Structure 1
Amino acid sequence: MRTASGWTTVILVGVGAIVAQAFGRFTYSVLLPAIRDDLDHSNTVAGLLGTTNVLAYLVGTFVVASLTTRYKLLTVMRSGFVFSLAGLAGAAVAPNAAVLGIALFSMGFGGALIWVPSPAIAARAVGENRRGLAVGAVGGGVGIGIVITGQLARIVRERSGDEAWRDVYRIDFALGVLAVLMILMFLRHQQSAPTGQKVGGAGFGSLRQMPGWVAITGAYTAYGFCYLIAVSFLTSRLEDDAGYTESLASTMFTLVGLGAVAGGILMGVIADRIGERITLVVGFCVFASALVGILTGVVAIVVVGSVIVGLMFGGLPSVVIGYVVRNTTAEAFGPSFAAATFAFGVAQVTSPQLGGLIADLTGGFTLVFIVAIGFALGGAAMATRLPHR
């Protein structure tokens, strides 16, 4: 049987990222208004369900930090698909919020097991001077998945109403099964057997050996706050505050996905040329500006802002991951990136619930987005402390 190599490996890893991130996480974001209105009318409960997903992701990163010292990256990645597909299947039939919460937890846990090993598998399949591009291409896969799920949500809700949100998860599950079968058949990764060496503190012992680890972890954590608040509540902000129709709000979410397709690749190439430090500082500032544009509610400005949010949503983590890949060995990458992702996950656990609570207290999403802008500027400040390449 022929197996993947080079850029084919990158493509297959990107397909896996669609299942882990786009289907397993961001489907809920675009369906949040429909799920909220069908199961519960509270933004706080809706935020809690989102928190369940990212809490599982946080737990998963803790587990990955240990698994990657004993098992090959590809083995860990494959195990994650079991949990992701099980979660998608559960969401497709969830009769209430409790069952949906269990399904989202399974998706989040599986997403961590898939995502953490993915950048190293992709980056080491290509040459040293193309690693940023490879990592960015994997992030582009997430963007493609967001486009798919955004359009699915728009079509399903237009035809069948809010109560048909489960149909989107059913389609995601079917596409996920096909994607996983293709990955299992063709994706291979050459890696020497891990030594089984213990890592301290969920991988932070390994992470601390990397130059600039405080700055890159801080920037990644700030990104976790700002992006998840913005993406989770984008459609809610536009529908509830700006008076957008379901179709128009879903279209804006799709534009985020389109931007993410190009964002990872574009910023990966830029970081390959000018370094991660400058790329991150400018990127975070641009992200904050785009969120200000979305707050205006003006359709033309929101269109541009949504695309830019997508570019930064796909691009900023690609630059962060590329930095970790460049500054760690193959064996150290797993625990090091898992540790950075653990800190990032803490932000994700907090941000959906924080956003939902603020929305309920204020009766809108303006302050929610202002908080996201503040975190974006904080990320830029942390990135200034990175060493020059």
Structure 2
Amino acid sequence: MTASPSAAAKQWPEFLVALALAAGPVVALGFTRFAYALLLPAMREKLHWSYAAAGGMNTANALGYIIGAATAAWWSRRFGSRSAFVWGIVISALALLASGATDNFAGLTVLRFIGGLSTAVTFVVGSALASRVHSGGQQARSASLVAMYMAGVGIGVVLSGVVVPAALTAWGVSGWQAGWLLMGLLALLAIGPAAWAARQVPEQAASGATHGGRAGLKPLTPLFVWYVLFGAGYVSYMTFVVALLHSQGMKVWGTGTFFIVLGVASAAATLLVWGRVIGRLRGGTAPALVSAVVLIGVLPVLLWHGMGAAIASAIIFGGSFMAGPTAVTVLARRMLPAHAWTLGIALLTVAFSVGQAVGPLVSGLLSDSSGGIAKGLWLSVVLLAVSAAVALIQRERTAEHHHQEAPAAASAPSAVRR
């Protein structure tokens, strides 16, 4: 159903709507996706998992993510982008709560799969909503608002960096279940602001140009390849870095501090730096730069031990890894007509998800072999280096986008006052 925003909704500033939309990635990625790394050492010890089994759990999550990303545009068309976004958060919250209620491997695997599916729908549809908060032609303004939405990931990482160590301190390795439950309760609280923000953004008018939209994605082929490699490289680090620090002797609150710093760096850099930088760069320059900085962020924990190396890694990696989805969303907005944004972002996220499905499994297998976790994390370095080279092939074409976007933007007025 297409609805016009109310006069009251128009009074809300764009930045406030984008920030409230960020409640989606707080839950979808900060909790459902990334907090697993903090819980992994305790879950492995309590449940007697190998690293391959632990990586396989995240692969199940990524497979759900692939399906969710592939069907996100359909859910958006079928139920409306607002409902798809909000219900994705609701399902993620329920999956988090259920994860704290069982220690069965098969059950947890299914819940990770469901959480991955709901996460993808939330993140993809939310990205499209964030792209529509500002419907004018100011590319830098739009990039900054998308970056504000992406900053929700860092906020979620910070919250999980407080909640999970608190649960593990109170209940020891058995506290992993309490960690899931506490994040589930916080996720329920996030539904309110997310639902409010979604109502401030107009529904995108339906378009029959799905086939044309798919054909229009061909110029983005290098970006698709980059996103596969980047997804595999960065998520291997995010899955196993806490286990690496734990194996190096770091205690619960040490790894919690690492996660908090990573989350703060992510939110701050996404809000203050990357939105402006990406808004000014063209073609594949921004994705290549992101890969290079993320690669540098992986190196400290591989080359040195101790809190200093961990904090350096958290600041550099944390300050750059969510710039990848920001760059992709902004480039898709520039190169695709407005009606194809959700589809384009969804299919790009499928590519991202393929990398995220394969990366942890291969990294886990390498970590189980001689050389340990560090050997698995060197895979991240190689993949990120290759992804940077691939990104530089991407060229930007905007003429068709500007021609087609103008009528769509004119027919769907901005939901907030500019």
Q: Same fold (TM over 0.5)?
A: yes
Q: Does 1:193 align with 2:200?
A: no
**2:150 & 2:238 partners in 1: Cα distance?**
15
**2:127 & 2:364 partners in 1: Cα distance?**
31
TM-aligned CA deviation for residue 31 of structure 1: 0.7
**2:27 & 2:379 partners in 1: Cα distance?**
29
Q: Which residue of 2 aligns with 1:258?
A: 264
CA contact (8 A) 2:287 2:388 kept: yes
Q: Does 1:143 align with 2:150?
A: no
Go from structure 1 to structure 2 and tell me whether the alpha carbon gap of 1:259 and 1:131 turns closer, same or farther (over 3 Å shift): same
CA contact (8 A) 1:212 1:385 kept: no
CA contact (8 A) 1:287 1:312 kept: yes
* Structure 1 counterpart SS, 2:394: coil
Query: Structure 1 stretch 3-12 or stretch 217-226: which is displaced more?
Result: 3-12
Q: Does 1:176 align with 2:187?
A: yes
Q: Which residue of 2 aligns with 1:16?
A: 24
TM-aligned CA deviation for residue 211 of structure 1: 6.4
**1:235 & 1:170 partners in 2: Cα distance?**
20
Go from structure 1 to structure 2 and tell me whether the alpha carbon gap of 1:198 and 1:162 turns closer, same or farther (over 3 Å shift): farther
TM-score (norm 2): 0.86
Query: Structure 1 stretch 352-361 or stretch 1-10: which is displaced more?
Result: 1-10
TM-aligned CA deviation for residue 276 of structure 1: 5.1
Query: How far does the alpha carbon of each residue in 1:108-132 deviate from its partner, in whole angstroms, 9 at most, with x for none?
Result: 1110110001122112212433111
TM-aligned CA deviation for residue 368 of structure 1: 1.2
**1:259 & 1:140 partners in 2: Cα distance?**
10
Q: Which residue of 2 aligns with 1:165?
A: 176
* Structure 1 counterpart SS, 2:322: helix
**1:342 & 1:187 partners in 2: Cα distance?**
23
Query: Structure 1 stretch 143-152 or stretch 82-91: which is displaced more?
Result: 82-91
Query: Larger Rg: 1 or 2?
Result: 2
* Structure 1 counterpart SS, 2:386: helix
| Letter matched to residue 34 of structure 1 | A
Query: Structure 1 stretch 87-96 or stretch 372-381: which is displaced more?
Result: 87-96
**1:268 & 1:217 partners in 2: Cα distance?**
21
Q: 1:232 aligns with which of 227, 239, 244?
A: 239
Q: Does 1:271 align with 2:278?
A: yes
**Identity %, equivalent residues:** 24
Q: Which residue of 1 aligns with 2:225?
A: 218
CA contact (8 A) 1:139 1:314 kept: yes
| Letter matched to residue 168 of structure 1 | G
Q: Does 1:249 align with 2:235?
A: no
Go from structure 1 to structure 2 and tell me whether the alpha carbon gap of 1:361 and 1:187 turns closer, same or farther (over 3 Å shift): same
Q: Output the aligned Cα RMSD.
A: 2.0
Query: How far does the alpha carbon of each residue in 1:234-273 deviate from its partner, in whole angstroms, 9 at most, with x for none?
Result: 1011111x22222212221222212211232321210112
* Structure 2 counterpart SS, 1:272: helix
Q: Which residue of 2 aligns with 1:33?
A: 41
Q: 1:384 aligns with which of 386, 389, 392?
A: 392
| Letter matched to residue 326 of structure 2 | S
TM-aligned CA deviation for residue 183 of structure 1: 2.5
**2:39 & 2:371 partners in 1: Cα distance?**
20
5+ residue gaps, structure 2, are: 1-5, 398-418
Q: Which residue of 1 aligns with 2:405?
A: none
Query: How far does the alpha carbon of each residue in 1:165-207 deviate from its partner, in whole angstroms, 9 at most, with x for none?
Result: 1111111111111110232245312134313x3746xxxx734
Query: Structure 1 stretch 47-56 or stretch 174-183: which is displaced more?
Result: 174-183
CA contact (8 A) 2:124 2:346 kept: yes
Q: 2:117 aligns with which of 106, 109, 121?
A: 109
* Structure 1 counterpart SS, 2:32: helix
Query: How far does the alpha carbon of each residue in 1:336-359 deviate from its partner, in whole angstroms, 9 at most, with x for none?
Result: 111111111111111111111111
**2:51 & 2:349 partners in 1: Cα distance?**
26
Residues 217-366 of structure 1 mapped to structure 2, 5 A cutoff? 217-240=224-247, 242-265=248-271, 266-275=273-282, 277-299=284-306, 300-366=308-374
TM-aligned CA deviation for residue 87 of structure 1: 0.6
CA contact (8 A) 1:120 1:330 kept: no
CA contact (8 A) 1:256 1:306 kept: yes
TM-aligned CA deviation for residue 18 of structure 1: 0.6
Go from structure 1 to structure 2 and tell me whether the alpha carbon gap of 1:378 and 1:208 turns closer, same or farther (over 3 Å shift): farther
Go from structure 1 to structure 2 and tell me whether the alpha carbon gap of 1:192 and 1:284 turns closer, same or farther (over 3 Å shift): closer
Go from structure 1 to structure 2 and tell me whether the alpha carbon gap of 1:121 and 1:342 turns closer, same or farther (over 3 Å shift): same
| Letter matched to residue 249 of structure 1 | T
**1:207 & 1:362 partners in 2: Cα distance?**
44
| Letter matched to residue 283 of structure 1 | V
Go from structure 1 to structure 2 and tell me whether the alpha carbon gap of 1:158 and 1:123 turns closer, same or farther (over 3 Å shift): same
Residues 98-137 of structure 1 mapped to structure 2, 5 A cutoff? 98-126=106-134, 127=136, 128-129=138-139, 130-137=141-148
Go from structure 1 to structure 2 and tell me whether the alpha carbon gap of 1:5 and 1:107 turns closer, same or farther (over 3 Å shift): farther
CA contact (8 A) 1:68 1:335 kept: no
* Structure 1 counterpart SS, 2:103: coil
5+ residue gaps, structure 1, are: none
